Chain A
Amino acid sequence: MTGLTVDGLRVVAGTSGRMIVDDVDLSLAPGESIAIVGESGSGKSMTAKALIGLLPRGIRAEGDANFAEVDLMALDENAWQRVRGSRIGLIMQNPFTMLNPVFRVHRTIEDSLRPEDRSRMTRAQRRQDVVWRLAEVGITDASVADRYPFQLSGGMRQRVAIAAALAREPELLIADEPSTALDVTTQRDILALIKKLQVARGMSLILITHDLRIAFSMCDRAYVMYAGVMVETATSSELEHEPLHPYTQGLLLSEPPADRRIAELVAIPGSVPPADQVATACPFSTRCAWAKAECLVGRPALSEVEPGRLSRCIRIDEIRGELREVRSAAEAEAVETSATEPATALVVVTDAHKEFRSGQRTVTALGSVSIRLGEGEGVGLVGESGSGKTTLGRAIAGLETLTGGTIEIDGIDASDWSKLSARDRKKLRGTVQMIFQDAYSSLNPTRSIGSALAEAISIRDPSARNMSQRVGELLHSVGLEPEYAQRKPAALSGGQHQRVAIARALAVHPKLLICDEPVAALDVSVQAQVLNLFSRIREEHGIGYLFITHDLSIVRQVVERVYVMHNGSVVEAGPVDDVLGTPSHPYTQKLIASVPSAEAGWLGEG
C-alpha cells in the first residue's frame, strides 16, 4: 500500500490532555493533491505538523498514520530524520522567518541536499546544482545564490524555501499556508509554482489553507476542519457545487465575490470555539442556524451522504434543501451602485508627496497623489504593500506628515497637524477617525473596554454624565453586550476587538472613518460580520469611509468609488463597478486576476 493513510488522528496537549485535534481521517494517493481547509483554531496546522513529527514541545499525536509502509506514529527522532525532507517535505507560512538569517542562499540549499549526494559533489558541482534548483523555482538570476535572506523579497524567499524543501526530492509535500504572508500578486505566482512542481515531479500535496477558493483551484479533494475535527470532505468540484455541511456553506458565503456586489454578506454569528469546549457536541452547534437539541447529544460521526462525500452534520438530509435556497438567494442578488464625483468634498488631497528616510536611503512612499472624498461617501484605496495606500490614509488622519502637497479637511488646511491651532486640531480629531488592521493592538491591553470608551466619550463631552450608560449604548451600537465594558481586551475575540475599536471611533461622532485593512486579520466567517457592521453604521450615521485594502472582493462590497494605487501613485480611479468591471490599467488587471478563484485555470498556464 502506498500513499498516506491517517486514521483517528488525535493531537493533545501533554500534561492537561486538552484536545486540539480529534478523529481525523485522511487518505492521499501518490500524485494526488488534497487541501485541509479551516479557520484559525481549526487544528489544520497541528494536523500538518503531526504528519511530519514537528509538533511543538509538550504536544503529542495519537492514532494511526501510515505513509508508504512507514508507521509515522512509531518513529523516534532518528527515524523521523530519515523521513523528513526525503519522503515528506514541508513549506511553512512565513518566508521572512523560515530561512537561517546568517546563511547565504546557496548554503541553505546545499545543507538541504542528502548528505551522501552533497559529499559526492565537488564545489563546482554543488554550485551548479544550486543554480539549477533555483532555476527550477523560477529564480534565473544565479547571483541570488550568494545573497542573504534579508536581501530578498518575500516571494523570492518563499521560492528559495521551496527549493530547499524539495532538495531531497520528497514524495509528499505539505504546504502550510504557503502564500498567506505574501502580497496578492505574488501569492498567485507561488501557488502556481507549487502546483507546477507537484505535477512535474508527480508528488503528493497536502495544502493547508483558510481559503476555500484556493483549495478548490489547487487540489483534487478538500477536507474542511472546524474546531479540531473534520466536518466535511469531498472532491473540490462537488464541494464547490454543493457543500453538505452548514459550516462549509457558511465559509463559502462569507467570502465575498469580486465580480459583483451583493445586498448583504451572509455572516456566521459568533467565533470559533476552542476545540475542547465543543468536544461532546456537534462542534458547529454553537453557531449553526439549524442546530437542534439532537445536535448537542454527543459529537456526530463523519458519515457518508453520497458516495465519496462525507459530512458530520446529522441533519444534512433534512436541511439540504434549505441550504440550497440560502445559497442561491445569497448569490443571486447583485445590486447596482451609484457613484458620482462628490459635489461637496470633505477631504481634498492635492499632490501629496511623502519620503521616508531609512539609513542613508530615501524611500518614496507617495509620489504625487490627489484624491477627493465626499461627505458620507464610501471610497476604496486599493493596492499591495508598498503602494503607499496606508501612508496616505495615515496622513489624512494626522498620524504622518507629508513631505509635500496639501490636505484639506472640512475647509481646514491639515497638511501639517503640528501647525494647527488647538481648536482646529480638536475639530479635526472629531472629524476623522482611524480603524487599524490589528484591532487587538489598537486597544490598550492594561485597560478595560469600558475605560477606553469612557475616555473617548469624555474627550468629546468632558462633562458627560451617566458614563456607564453611555458606554453601554456605544457597545450596543456595535452589537456587543454592555457587560463587555468590564473586560480587558485579552478576553475578547478578534471580531469583538474590531467592534470595540469602531465604537471608540464613533464616540467622537466623526464624519470620516479611515479603515486600514480592518478585516484582514480576521477569520473569514468573522470578516463578513464586521463588513456588515460597517455597512449598517454607515446607513445609520451617514459616516463616510476611506477603505484601505488589498482585497478587491471587499472593496466591491463596501464602497462606491475606488482609487487603485501602485508604487506611490494612483494608477486608476473611478466608480467601483467600472474600475473592477472594465479595468483599463495593466496593474488593475493584474490585481483582478490575482483574486483567488475556484475556477479551473485561475492559476494560469503555470
Chain B
Amino acid sequence: MAIVRFIVRRLLAMLVLLFVISFLVFSLLYLAPGSAIDVLLKNVPRNPETVAALTAKYHLDEPFITQYWIWLQGALRLDFGESIQTTLPVTGEILARLPVTVFLAIYAFAIEMAIGLGVGVLAALRQRSVADRGLVALTVVGLSTPAFVSGVFLLYVFSVALGWFPAFGAGEGFLDRLWHLTLPAFSLAIVGSAFVVKHVRAAVLAVLDQDYVTFARARGISRSKVLFQYVLRNAMIPILGVSAMVLAFLLIGAVFIEVTFSINGMGSLVVKAANSQDLPMIQGVAIFIALIVMGFNLLADLAYLAADPRVRNRTLA
C-alpha cells in the first residue's frame, strides 16, 4: 500500500530528525558555561564525594560519544534522569503536568478553529464590506497581541475588574478545570484565531474566484452546496497546510499563559527549569516537545493527503 510506504518513510525521516535533535539537546550539557559537574552540581555543595557520585551517575569519565549513547538509551526509555531542582525524575514531573497543558491546548484549539473558521469565512463572503474591514482590523491587532499580553488584559478585565473568573490555578475535576481554564484558553486563542482567520479568509477568497465555483453556480447547484462542497472543501486544503504552525503557536503561547495565570503545567515547568538552568529537565522537556510537534506534523500531512487527490497522486505515486 502506497499510504503505508508513505507513513513508514515519514516515520524514518522523523527518527533521523529526532536523532539530530537528541544529539543537540544532549550537547547542551557541554555547551553550557562551566563544566558538566558545575552545571549538574548547582545547589549541592561541592566536595569529592558529591563530584564522584555525579561522575559515576552521569558517566562523566567516559568519552563524549559513549556518554551520549548511554543518555540516548535512557531517553529511549523516557528516562532523562532527575531534576536538579526537585531531585525528582524528569519524566514523572513532565507526565504529571502534561494533562493540564493538553487540556489547555485542546480548549484553545477548539476556540481558535471556531472563531477562525467562522470569522474567516464570514469576512471572505462579505469582502470589502464594513464588517469585513472591521474584522480585518481586529485580525491585524490580534496577530500583534502575544499571549502574555492578551493574558494580562483578560485577567484584568474578567478577573480583577469583573471578578467572573479565577485569576490563577487549574482547578480540580472537569467542570472546575473548564471554569479555571476558560480565561487562559481564550487568552491563548486570540493570536491563533487571528492567524487562522487570516488564512481562512485568504483561502476562501482565492477559491471564490475560481472558475469551478462560477461553473457550479452556472449549473444551478444550490447555494449551500456550492459554499460547503465547492468553496470550503477546497479552501480547507491550504488551511490544513498551516495547521502545524497553529500548533507551534499554541505550544509557545501555552508557556506564557501558564506563567501569566500561575498554572502548573509543562510551560511553567520549562520556564522554571530555564530560569534555574535545570539541564536534565530542559533536555527532557525539549525531547517531549519535539515528539509532540513531529507527531502533529505527520497528522497534518496525512490530513493534507486525504483532502487533496492531486497531492495524493503526486506524493504516493
Binary interface profile of B, 123-150, with partner A (CB < 8 Å = 1, else 0)?
Answer: 0000100000000000000000000000
Known: A111-B225, A148-B309, A150-B310. A97 touches B220 (CB 8 A): no
Contact B212 A97 (CB under 8 A): yes
Q: Which of A35-43, A161-169, A499-507 contacts B (4 or more CB under 8 A)?
A: A161-169
- Asked whether any CB of chain A lies closer than 8 Å to the CB of B47, the reply is no
Contact A83 B215 (CB under 8 A): no
- Asked whether any CB of chain B lies closer than 8 Å to the CB of A16, the reply is no
How many angstroms between the C-alpha atoms of A101 and B210 in the bound complex?
11
Known: A100-B230, A102-B308, A111-B225. A168 touches B211 (CB 8 A): no
How many angstroms between the C-alpha atoms of A86 and B220 in the bound complex?
7
How many angstroms between the C-alpha atoms of A167 and B220 in the bound complex?
10
How many angstroms between the C-alpha atoms of A509 and B68 in the bound complex?
67
Across the interface, name the chain B residue whose C-beta is closest to A81: B220
How many angstroms between the C-alpha atoms of A90 and B212 in the bound complex?
12
Known: A150-B309, A359-B317. A99 touches B215 (CB 8 A): yes
The number of chain B residues with a CB under 8 A from chain A is 27
Known: A92-B211, A111-B221, A150-B313. A100 touches B308 (CB 8 A): no
When distances are taken between beta carbons in the complex, the residues of chain A under 8 Å from B234 are 100-102
How many angstroms between the C-alpha atoms of A583 and B266 in the bound complex?
79
How many angstroms between the C-alpha atoms of A463 and B220 in the bound complex?
66
Contact A89 B210 (CB under 8 A): no
- Give the contact-size bracket for chain A: 20 to 34
- Asked whether any CB of chain A lies closer than 8 Å to the CB of B5, the reply is no
- Asked whether any CB of chain A lies closer than 8 Å to the CB of B46, the reply is no
How many angstroms between the C-alpha atoms of A77 and B229 in the bound complex?
19
- Asked whether any CB of chain A lies closer than 8 Å to the CB of B57, the reply is no
Contact B317 A89 (CB under 8 A): no
A-B interface pairs (CB < 8 A), number: 83
- Asked whether any CB of chain B lies closer than 8 Å to the CB of A94, the reply is yes
The smallest C-beta distance from B207 to any residue of chain A, in angstroms, reads 10
Binary interface profile of A, 93-127, with partner B (CB < 8 Å = 1, else 0)?
Answer: 01001111110000000011001000000000000
How many angstroms between the C-alpha atoms of A569 and B11 in the bound complex?
45
Contact B212 A98 (CB under 8 A): yes
Contact of B215 among A86, A115, A161 (CB under 8 A): A161
Contact of B220 among A99, A100, A150, A168 (CB under 8 A): A168
Contact B220 A82 (CB under 8 A): yes
How many angstroms between the C-alpha atoms of A52 and B217 in the bound complex?
10
Contact A92 B215 (CB under 8 A): yes
- Asked whether any CB of chain B lies closer than 8 Å to the CB of A195, the reply is no
Within 359-418 of A, Cβ neighbours of B (below 8 Å) are at 359-360
How many angstroms between the C-alpha atoms of A98 and B219 in the bound complex?
12
Across the interface, name the chain A residue whose C-beta is closest to B233: A102
Across the interface, name the chain B residue whose C-beta is closest to A103: B229
Contact B218 A85 (CB under 8 A): yes
- Asked whether any CB of chain B lies closer than 8 Å to the CB of A54, the reply is yes
The smallest C-beta distance from B222 to any residue of chain A, in angstroms, reads 7
- Asked whether any CB of chain B lies closer than 8 Å to the CB of A84, the reply is yes
- Asked whether any CB of chain A lies closer than 8 Å to the CB of B206, the reply is no
Contact B215 A98 (CB under 8 A): yes
Contact A81 B218 (CB under 8 A): no
How many angstroms between the C-alpha atoms of A150 and B311 in the bound complex?
11
- Asked whether any CB of chain A lies closer than 8 Å to the CB of B262, the reply is no
When distances are taken between beta carbons in the complex, the residues of chain A under 8 Å from B219 are 84-85, 89-90, 111-112, 164-165, 167-168
Contact A100 B212 (CB under 8 A): yes
Q: Which of A99, A102, A165 has the most CB of B within 10 A?
A: A102
The smallest C-beta distance from B235 to any residue of chain A, in angstroms, reads 11
- Asked whether any CB of chain A lies closer than 8 Å to the CB of B3, the reply is no
- Asked whether any CB of chain A lies closer than 8 Å to the CB of B214, the reply is yes
The smallest C-beta distance from A204 to any residue of chain B, in angstroms, reads 16
Across the interface, name the chain B residue whose C-beta is closest to A88: B218
How many angstroms between the C-alpha atoms of A473 and B317 in the bound complex?
55
When distances are taken between beta carbons in the complex, the residues of chain A under 8 Å from B211 are 92, 94, 97-98
When distances are taken between beta carbons in the complex, the residues of chain B under 8 Å from A85 are 218-221
List 23 A-B pairs, Cβ < 8 Å.
A52-B218, A82-B220, A85-B219, A90-B215, A90-B219, A97-B210, A98-B211, A98-B215, A100-B212, A100-B230, A101-B212, A101-B234, A101-B310, A102-B237, A102-B307, A111-B216, A111-B221, A112-B221, A148-B313, A150-B309, A151-B313, A164-B215, A168-B219
Q: Which 6 A-B pairs rank lowest in CB-CB distance, beginning with the nearest?
A: A85-B220, A90-B218, A85-B219, A97-B211, A84-B220, A112-B219
